[in-house]
């Protein structure tokens, strides 16, 4: 029975559709340049675990996830993290914040600030292509 539950969990996890996140802005930027993709930068002001529900609702098992993974390199940045990122470029007082950049670090559309929902992100992606 125990093995059956583990198998079911693994199958569900493998079928889950989720964003492929990076945690180093510089590496994500280099990858975006190399692959000629855009960047999505999610800025959080607290530990990632504090945003678990929002991340699951917005960035997992939604129709637009494949589009994001195909066209963007996604990076999560936590305020005051040790790894560097362009603070002046990605400056905000409202968290979470989702920035959309081209591979030259120029904005391709306005960021989403505050409470982000799947509906907001889906409609914003249509503008940010």
| Cβ-based neighbours of 70, under 8 Å, separated by 6 or more | none
24 within some domain: yes
| Cis upstream peptide for 96 (omega within 30°) | yes
Is beta strand 97-101 parallel, antiparallel or unpaired with respect to 72-78?
Answer: unpaired
86 within some domain: yes
Per residue in 53-112, pLDDT (tens digit) is: 999 999 999 999 999 999 999 999 988 777 778 887 888 889 999 999 998 889 999 999
Say what percent of the chain tops pLDDT 70: 88
Encoded tokens for 103:
């591979």
5 within some domain: no
Encoded tokens for 49:
């675990």
pLDDT value of position 46? 83
Q: Of 46-50, 60-64, 123-127, where does mean pLDDT reach its minimum?
A: 46-50
11 within some domain: no
| Cβ-based neighbours of 109, under 8 Å, separated by 6 or more | 100, 124, 127, 128
Per the structure, the complete domain to which residue 27 belongs is given by: 16-128
CATH of the domain at 121: 3.40.30.10
């Amino acid at each position: 029975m125990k093995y059956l539950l583990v198998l079911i969990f693994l199958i569900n996890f493998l079928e889950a559709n989720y964003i492929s996140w990076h945690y180093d802005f510089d590496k994500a930027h280099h990858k975006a340049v190399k692959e000629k993709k855009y960047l999505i930068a999610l800025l959080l002001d607290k530990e990632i675990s504090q945003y678990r529900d929002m991340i699951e609702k917005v960035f997992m098992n939604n129709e637009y996830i494949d589009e994001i993974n195909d066209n963007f390199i996604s990076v999560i940045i936590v305020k005051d993290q040790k790894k560097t990122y362009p603070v002046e470029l990605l400056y905000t007082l409202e968290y979470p914040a989702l920035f959309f950049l081209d591979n030259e670090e120029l904005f391709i559309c306005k960021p989403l600030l505050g409470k982000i929902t799947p509906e907001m992100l889906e409609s914003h992606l249509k503008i940010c292509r």
